[in-house]
Structure 1
Amino acid sequence: MPELPEVEALAGFLRQRVEGVAVADVELASFNVLKTYSPAPQALCGLFVTDVRRHGKWIDVDVDGLHLVFHLSRAGWLRWYDKAPATRLRPGSKTPIALRVSFEDGSAFDLTEQGTQKRLAAYIVKDPVAEIPQIASLGPDALSDDFTVESFAALLAGKKAQIKGVLRDQSVIAGVGNAYSDEVLHVAKISPYAKADSLDAEKVSRLYEAMRDTLSGAIEAASGKPAAELKDAKRAGMRVHGRTGQECPECGDVVREVSFADRSMQYCATCQTGGKPLADRRMSRLLK
């Protein structure tokens, strides 16, 4: 799933290419991807893109006051064309392309989604915060200038949930997902199973700095890269996430994994849990 750094890079990528350019056409191959029916997609045609910004993990294309807002979810992505394909999309066709936006300079982008779980979501609204509940419910942005360590400490206070889950909760902090929560916790040397309200002031400060530094570094690494290269750039920058069985870059221990029904997390026992492997209930059941 694209997280804050990739979404920020995609927003910047689009801003450089389509700001000041008029929309020529909007095509739907999957009607399910569009969660609103008014204004209609064709209402964007002839209007000029005035900005592209980010809300957490959402991208907001401002088209002269109408907003095309989309969330790529777990398996979605953005495919860019300097020259739009000549073939039009056919609604209901078996293609990973869900939606295409074409521009009057001949360029275009597709929103695509692989797999059978279709969670890619797009909206056309006048006010994203007022009209999209998921955006209205977002917590403070992880890299917002006014999101201080004191603000972070206040959010964690009283939360008895595991810190891994708290970091991933978009209503608490916007932008961090499964991959970067692994990375942040590894940098901070904190167990993903630690209870959020059990962290003392020193650990909270360490975690806050790790989050800001990790996300800022990932944005810097992704900045300027074409959309097609961002997935590989993300994988290449990971320290522990997706690196089960490999060597921890910090201490040399093996990177371990805990598996869940629909995802997994990676961590280093030496760096994060005092050398004790975390319980993996899914694997334990398989071994019985």
Structure 2
Amino acid sequence: MPEIPDLEVFSMNLTKMLKGKVVKKLEVPYPKKLKTTVAALKKQIEKQKLTEIYREGKQLRLAFSNKNKLGWHLMLHGEPALFEGKDFPKWTIIALQFTDGSGLAMTDFQGQATVTLNPEESEVPDAMSKQVNTKFLKETFASSKKAIKEVLMDQDLIRGLGNAYTDEILYHARISPFSVANKIPGTQIKVLASSIKKVLKDGIKQILKHDKNLISGEYRDFMKVHHAKKEESPGGYAIRKHKVGSRKTYYTDEQELFS
């Protein structure tokens, strides 16, 4: 699933490529996961200029000249895709055809990606925001007996963090993912607050270094522990894996367990 650094790069590049283009026609070949009607989408989006594409939590937001917005949640396998003319990419959920003949689609072979017209704004802070600081984390963790990884990935507490980057953040902060949230000392919470921003910003830099025009896919080769083919961390410790359901947690004994 695309996470904050991926979505930041996608939105940056898509804005650069598509800003100012006018939507000639909107098509929804797969309306099953649509959060509104096709008619409402057409009425509000067609003939409008695309002004910006940006990230909000785990979503992409497409903003238009009439102040309407589309929220795209890519879910596990959704991807933005560019196309020309009327030939949509395979597995298209929604497609915007622009007046210059180019187009932007969201595809998903599983059909789980969702489209929402004017999604509600959330009061839950984004992981990249200034609000997610030491004070906020201390307050958030204080009453929680859950594992720290579970807390960080709870979208009702902090928006945007997913499985891979949470592992990387906790490794950077040297905190075990199985630590009990309210047992983590204040000094380590301060380190964690810094690690969140540093790891996410570095992720953006690494992805752009790999492909400055990337608009889809997940580039993870630079990750220090969340990597299926790596056996040791940069510190020389064995990378351990713990699987719950379909989710794998990667960690090492360098990370302290607070319980």
Residue 250 of structure 2 corresponds to residue 266 of structure 1: yes
- By how many angstroms is 1:222 displaced? 2.9
Does structure 1 retain, via aligned residues, the 8 Å contact 2:11–2:60?
yes
More divergent stretch after superposition (31-40 vs 205-214) = 31-40
Task: State the 1:139 CA deviation.
Answer: 2.0
The answer to whether the 8 Å contact 1:183/1:214 transfers is: yes
Cα distance, 1:244 vs structure 2: 5.7
Does the residue aligned with 2:8 lie in a helix, a strand or coil?
Answer: helix
**Aligned partner (choices 92, 96, 109) of residue 97 of structure 1:** 92
User: Using a 3 Å threshold, how does the CA distance of structure 1 residues 256 and 208 change in structure 2: closer, same or farther?
Assistant: same
Q: Corresponding residue for 1:56? A: 57
Matched, 1:142 2:127: yes
Residue 114 of structure 2 is aligned to residue 121 of structure 1: yes
Q: Is the 8 A contact 1:23 1:47 kept in 2?
A: yes
Deviation string, structure 1 residues 184-226 (Cα, Å, up to 9, x no partner):
0111111111011111011101111111100011122334722
Change (3 A) 1:264 1:88: closer
Consecutive unaligned residues of structure 1, counting only runs of 5 or more, are: 90-94, 130-134, 275-288
What is the CA–CA distance in structure 2 between the aligned matches of 1:266 and 1:98, rounded to whole Å? 33
Q: Is the 8 A contact 2:81 2:216 kept in 1?
A: no
Q: Given the alignment of the two structures, is residue 225 of structure 1 paired with residue 216 of structure 2, yes or no?
A: no
- For residue 78 of structure 1, the aligned residue among 80, 83, 103 is 80
Quote the offset at 1:69 in angstroms.
0.9
> TM-score, normalized by length of structure 1?
0.81
* Kept after mapping to 2: 8 A contact 1:245/1:254: no
CA shift in 2, pair 1:39/1:151, >3 Å: farther
Change (3 A) 1:247 1:217: same
For the 8 Å contact 1:244–1:257, the answer to whether it is kept is no
**Cα distance in 2 for residues equivalent to 1:228 and 1:54:** 13
Cα-to-partner distance string for 1:223-247 (whole Å, 9 max, x where unaligned):
4722356523xx1121111336622
For residues 114 and 260 of structure 1, the distance between their equivalents in structure 2, rounded to whole angstroms, comes to: 24
Q: Does the Cα contact within 8 Å between 1:222 and 1:230 map onto a contact in 2? A: no
Number of aligned residues? 253
TM-score (norm 2): 0.89
Uncovered stretches (5+) of structure 2, i.e. residues with no partner: none
Alignment of 1:1-288 (within 5 A): 1-37=1-37, 40-43=40-43, 44-64=45-65, 65-81=67-83, 84-87=84-87, 95-115=90-110, 118-125=111-118, 128-129=119-120, 136=122, 139-223=124-208, 225-228=212-215, 230-232=217-219, 235-243=220-228, 246-249=231-234, 251-268=235-252, 270-273=253-256
1:241 to 1:164, Cα distance in 2 relative to 1, 3 A:
same
Q: Is the 8 A contact 1:57 1:175 kept in 2?
A: yes
| Offset from partner CA, 1:120-155 (integer Å, 9 cap, x none) | 111123xx22xxxxx53x621111134332122212
Q: Which has the higher contact order (CA 8 A, sep 6+)?
A: 2
Q: Determine if contact 1:78/1:227 at 8 Å carries over to the other structure.
A: no
| Greater helix content | 1
- 1-side partners of 2:8 and 2:195: how far apart? 18
Describe the shift of the 1:88–1:177 C-alpha distance in structure 2 as closer, same or farther (beyond 3 A).
closer
- In 2, the alpha carbon distance for the partners of 1:245 and 1:14 equals 32
Could you tell me which amino acid in structure 1 is paired with residue 236 of structure 2? G
Q: Quick one: distance in 2 between partners of 1:267 and 1:21?
A: 45
Preserved CA contact (<8 Å) 1:72 1:121:
yes
Counterpart Cα distance in 1 of 2:113 and 2:54 = 18
Aligned to 1:283: none
